[in-house]
Amino acid sequence: MKQKQKFTDTIAAQVDEFTPTFEAQVGPALAEVFELEQEELRRAGLPDGMARVGDKLPDVLLYDGHRRPAPLREVLGSAAAIIVFYRGAWCPYCNIALQTYQRELSPLAESFGTRLIAISPQDPEIAQKMAHESGLYLPLYSDAGNNLASRLGIVTVPSPESTLARIALGIDVAGSNVDRTLRIPFPTVIVADATGTIRFIDVHADYTDRTETGDIIDALVAL
C-alpha cells in the first residue's frame, strides 16, 4: 500500500537535504564558490534603511506573465497579502521555498481571502515559463528594474565569482532580468494588511535561508 505523502518538512530541512546533492552535481570548485558567497552574505548582513513593520507598501507597477502592467494596489485589491520576493526561477533555493508556499500556504490564503503572490526582477515570460516547467502556478509578477524591491531597501548584487560560476552552469542572471542587470532582491516575505501596511517582514541575507510557513501563518493569523 502506498504511503500517503506528508508535507511536514521545514524549508530548512529540505535545503539541508538538497544541498549535498546540488554540490555533488556542480562539483567541488563551484560548490566552494557558492559556499564562500553565502559566508560573505552572512558576514555582511542586511542593509540599513529596509522597510519595517508599520510602513506602507509603495504603489508601483508590476508586470504579469503576459507583460501587462499591473499596479500593486490593483494586484492586491482590498485584501491582505502575502508577498514573496524571490531571486529568480534559476535559483533552486527559491524554487524549494515557492513550492512549499504553494503547497502549504495557497489553501490557507484562499480560506482567509488573502492574496499570495511571488515577485522577481525576471522577464515575466521567462519567469512564467520556468515556473510552469517546475510545476509552480503561484501568481507571479515581475518587478522590472527592482523598482519595488529598491523602494523597500532589499536589493543586492551577486558576487563576481558567483556570477561566473552560474554562467558556467548556464545561468545568465542579468540576461533573464528585465533591466539586464545583476540586481536581485534578498529573499523576503512580507505580510501586509488590507490597507497595504506591512505587518510582518522577514528578509534573509543568505539565500539558502528562507521564511518558514509557520512564521507566515502566525503573521497572517495576527492580522
Sorted by where each begins, the domain ranges of the chain are: 11-221
pLDDT band at 2; cut points 50, 70, 90: very low
Instruction: Determine how many CB atoms are found less than 10 A away from the CB of residue 147.
Output: 18
pLDDT band at 18; cut points 50, 70, 90: very high
Q: Which grid coordinates belong to 106?
A: 495557497
pLDDT (tens digit per residue) in 91-113: 999 999 999 999 999 999 988 89
pLDDT the model gives residue 218: 95
Q: ∠49-215-120 over CA atoms, to 5°?
A: 55
pLDDT the model gives residue 8: 56
Whether the CB-CB separation of 201 and 53 falls below 8 Å is answered with yes
Virtual CA dihedral for 14, 91, 66, 58, nearest 10 degrees? 90
The Cα–Cα gap between 91 and 93 comes to 5
Q: Which grid coordinates belong to 205?
A: 541575507
65 compared with 161, residue with greater pLDDT? 161
pLDDT band at 9; cut points 50, 70, 90: confident
Average pLDDT of every residue of the chain = 93
- Residue 25 above 50 pLDDT? yes
78 compared with 33, residue with greater pLDDT? 33
- Residue 6 above 50 pLDDT? no
pLDDT (tens digit per residue) in 40-76: 999 999 999 999 999 999 999 999 988 899 999 999 9
The Cα–Cα gap between 157 and 137 comes to 27
Residues listed for the chain: 223
- Residue 166 above 80 pLDDT? yes
Domain topology for 11-221: Glutaredoxin (3.40.30)
